[in-house]
Amino acid sequence: MRTNYNNFSRRRPKFSPSFVVAVVLLVLVIGASLVWRSGASTLVWKALTPVMLVRNALDSGQVAALRAELASTSALLADRDVLRAENAMLKAHLGRAGVEGSVILAGVIMAPPASTYDTLVIDAGAAQGVAVGQYVSAGGSTVIGTVTDVSSDSAHVTLLSAPGTTHDALVMSNQSGKTLPISIAGQGGGSFSGQLPSGSMVATGDSVVFAGVAGQFVAQVVAVERRVGESFVTLYMHMPVNIFELRFVEVIH
């Protein structure tokens, strides 16, 4: 049988030089892109590595600081609970366990500046057991005022810091560990002022409480003014709560 080589050669596909060049270029481009992408990603990661390390270091430092602060706060709360339990035990032994009385929770309807200066209006009154002269607390042993007017379901509270009012109290000196009697005068807005002999060991941060077994917390010393040649030192004190943002109070009866 005779093969027609001429026909076979005509049927065999032929690749032009330009087609071959195009294929080679395409392969080179794909290879170069792969190599470049790998190199670029490596460069990017190398550039970002120091930034990531710094960020991680900052994050770990902040976490450590927050953990330390939480531990310190937990320790203070635990210490407060221990002291409170010890105080209650001592009062029980002395037969004074019920000296603080019970409390009536009340919501604050009006507070400064909406209400009259240094007064509150609360939503508990005679029907709930509120009476004139009762102390009002911001919570716990922090006393902020007294009930001065009562209706059936509401009452007016005059804050201890109202201008023109004076109160006998004690300054608990952190330096000497002693308590110093003082008369504090209301200056408005939750502030007080008072004077002690110039040699008194008092400083900012000292607590001011009412005398008595209950020892209600009234204010904290925020500034001490000493003047050369004067026989008295002036103390400036402030309530430990923001009277403009109070939502609830406790009436002690």
User: What are the residue ranges spanned by the domains of the chain?
Assistant: 14-97, 101-253
| φ/ψ of residue 7, rounded to 5 | -65, -40
| Residue of 74 and 192 predicted with greater confidence | 192
Contact 192, 233 (CB under 8 A): no
What's the predicted TM-score (pTM) here? 0.59
* Comparison of pLDDT for 2 and 234, the residue scoring more: 234
DSSP the chain: ----HHHHHHHS----HHHHHHHHHHHHHHHHHHHHHHHHHHHHHHHHHHHHHHHHHHHHHHHHHHHHHHHHHHHHHHHHHHHHHHHHHHHHHTT-TTTT--EEEEEEEE-TTTSSTTEEEES--GGGT--TT-EEESSTTBEEEEEEEE-SS-EEEEETT-TT-EEEEEEE-TTT--EEEEEEEEEETTEEEEEEETT----TT-EEE-SSSS--EEEEEEEEE--TT-SEEEEEEE-SS-GGG--EEEEE-
Neighbouring CB atoms inside 10 A of 227's CB total 10
Q: Is 155's pLDDT higher than 80?
A: yes
Residue length, the chain? 253
Query: Is it the case that residue 66 has pLDDT exceeding 80?
Result: no
pLDDT bracket for residue 22 (50, 70, 90): low
Residues 94-138: pLDDT tens digits?
444 444 558 899 999 998 888 777 899 999 999 999 999 999 998
Cis before 113 (ω within 30): yes
The model's pLDDT over 185-242, given as tens digits with 9 standing for 90+, comes to 999 999 999 999 988 999 999 999 987 645 678 899 999 999 888 899 999 999 988 8
User: CATH topology for 101-253?
Assistant: Thrombin, subunit H (2.40.10)
Q: What is the mean pLDDT of the chain?
A: 76
Distances (CA, A) of 92 to 2, 98, 137: 128, 8, 23
pLDDT score recorded for residue 17? 66
Q: Which residue has the higher pLDDT, 139 or 109?
A: 109
pLDDT at 103: 87
Q: What is the arithmetic mean of pLDDT over 62-78? A: 58
